[in-house]
Amino acid sequence: MASVTLSGLRKEYGDLTAVDGLSLDVDDGELLCLLGPSGCGKSTTLRMLGGLETPTDGDVHIGGEPVTDQPPYERNTSMVFQSWALFPHKTVLENVAFGLKMDGVSEDERRERAREMLDVVEMGGFEDHDPTDLSGGQKQRVALARSLAIEPDVLLLDEPLSNLDKRLREQMQLELRNIHDAVETTFVHVTHDQNEAFTLADSIAIMNDGQIEQVGAPREVYDDPVSLFIEEFLGDTNLIEATVTETTETGVVADVALGTAVELPTGDASVAVGDDLTVSFRPEELDVERADAAADGSPSITGEITDVLYRGSTVRFYVESAGEYLFFEQSVGADSDFAVGDAVTVSWDPADLLAFAADGDRVGGGGA
């Protein structure tokens, strides 16, 4: 168990900057998900944490100790690789016992401890199997056992679930959560899958372009994204262009491309008349009724349903207004059954809208 501190971490490969001045704190025993799109530098960051890459600049501290210049075999971190990287010429038991063997643990003891670890990941009985004969999920469990067997201060997980099918992945997410609770080790888990991050994490750090955009509890990050990048990355939403027409005491009024003026409670953020904004209308915050239903006074637009997409358990409806489209979703079986051509009124609470300036930064406070 140990905390992790990354400060001003940089990694350059020739002209390419993979990680660009990244600072991050992970608490002792925390499960942190490093979330970001492909190529954002999250795996490189993890490899620098494990000592498999040397930072161009910056420092890594584990448990308060500087480890920046320590090679991987001297650091008490352990990585679960995306490819699992099980030693093909060793049995499952030998794989799990490998780290202990390198530590000089006696043969009997390391076999004993490797067996226990295999039981933890529910792979008891596979001791003498060849790792190449195992399924993806089984390899994943063995890789996890191998890394946990050395009782690392920090367990590093480099998208180990990304090669599994959806059902198995979701099952492993829950198990990983349980294992984390049981071993009380600090976990740093890299993923590009926001659902996985929300399921697993105590804390999510979202990366973009080699830097951390935002760190926080999953709920906090979702409710209060600091930038348009995060808003787009965390889930499907309606992003509509708007232009500020008026500033008020509580915020601004903006002309939204949906053909209506919208009040945005942006507080006293530095926004001027004429500024361009992007406004996020999250589908789950939209109220939709037939156009002839009585209005309740909330701001709204009226439009026509143009497309209905069945997406398994949900149905997605597209509403057109002034040439822009908004979508909202309903569970299959909800009794509204809107159809193409229906006129509907879409309304919202202005407090649920999120506004972003032209540079992508969030303007003022919003939902929460």
Partner 1 sequence: MSEVELTRERVEDALFRAGYWLLFGIVMLPIVVVFATSFQQGEYLTFPPEGVSLRWYAQFFASAEWLSAVRDSVVIGVGAAVLSTALGVTGSLAVQRSDSTLARVLPPVILLPLLLPPVVIGLTLLIYFNRVGFGSTYLTIVIAHALWATPLVFFVMQSVFARFDWDLRDAGMDLGARPSRVFYHVVLPNVRSGVVISAVVAFIVSLQEFIMALFLKSYEVQTVPVLAWTSLQSSLTPLVSVVSAFLVGVSILGVLVSAALMNIEWLAEQL
Pick between residue 105 and residue 244 the one whose CB is nearest to partner 1. 105
Helix axes 107-120, 136-149, angle to 10 degrees: 130
- Give the pair of three-digit tokens for residue 68: 């920046």
Q: How many helices (H) and strands (E) does the chain have?
A: 8, 20
Task: Work out the end-to-end distance of the chain between its first and last CA atoms, rounded to an integer number of angstroms.
Answer: 33
Pick between residue 155 and residue 230 the one whose CB is nearest to partner 1. 155
185 touching partner 1, by CB under 8 A: no
98 touching partner 1, by CB under 8 A: yes
Backbone angles phi, psi at 100, to 5 degrees: -70, -35
- Give the pair of three-digit tokens for residue 335: 């009794």
Pick between residue 52 and residue 190 the one whose CB is nearest to partner 1. 52
Distance, CA of 197 to CA of 214 (rounded, Å): 14
What is the size of the binding site for partner 1 (CB under 8 A)? 23
For residue 190, the minimal CB distance to partner 1 (Å) is 14
Pick between residue 117 and residue 262 the one whose CB is nearest to partner 1. 117
Cα 299–chain centre separation: 32
In terms of Cα–Cα distance, which of 201, 324, 334 is closest to 258?
A: 324
Count Cβ atoms below 10 Å from residue 248 Cβ, excluding itself: 11
Segment contacting partner 1 (CB under 8 A): 95-103, 196-204, 260-268, 319-327? 95-103
Amino acid sitting at position 327: F
Which 33-52 positions form the footprint of partner 1 (CB under 8 A)? 50-52
Segment contacting partner 1 (CB under 8 A): 67-75, 120-128, 195-203, 247-255? 67-75
Pick between residue 62 and residue 206 the one whose CB is nearest to partner 1. 62
Segment contacting partner 1 (CB under 8 A): 68-76, 243-251, 257-265, 357-365? 68-76
In terms of Cα–Cα distance, which of 81, 170, 197, 245 is closest to 72?
A: 81
Which 148-177 positions form the footprint of partner 1 (CB under 8 A)? 150
295 touching partner 1, by CB under 8 A: no
- Give the pair of three-digit tokens for residue 8: 């001003």
Segment contacting partner 1 (CB under 8 A): 73-81, 190-198, 250-258, 291-299? 73-81
The residue within the footprint of partner 1, chosen from 55, 99, 225, 251 (CB under 8 A), is 99
Task: Determine contact, residues 117/138, Cβ cutoff 8 Å.
Answer: no
Bridge partners of residue 209, in order along the sequence? none
Which 75-94 positions form the footprint of partner 1 (CB under 8 A)? 77-79, 81, 83, 85, 87-89
Which 3-22 positions form the footprint of partner 1 (CB under 8 A)? 14
55 touching partner 1, by CB under 8 A: no
The Cα-based distances of 136 to 120, 145, 161, 196, 306 in angstroms read 18, 14, 9, 18, 42
Which residues contact partner 1 (rule: CB under 8 A)? 14, 50-52, 71-73, 77-79, 81, 83, 85, 87-89, 98-99, 102-103, 146-147, 150
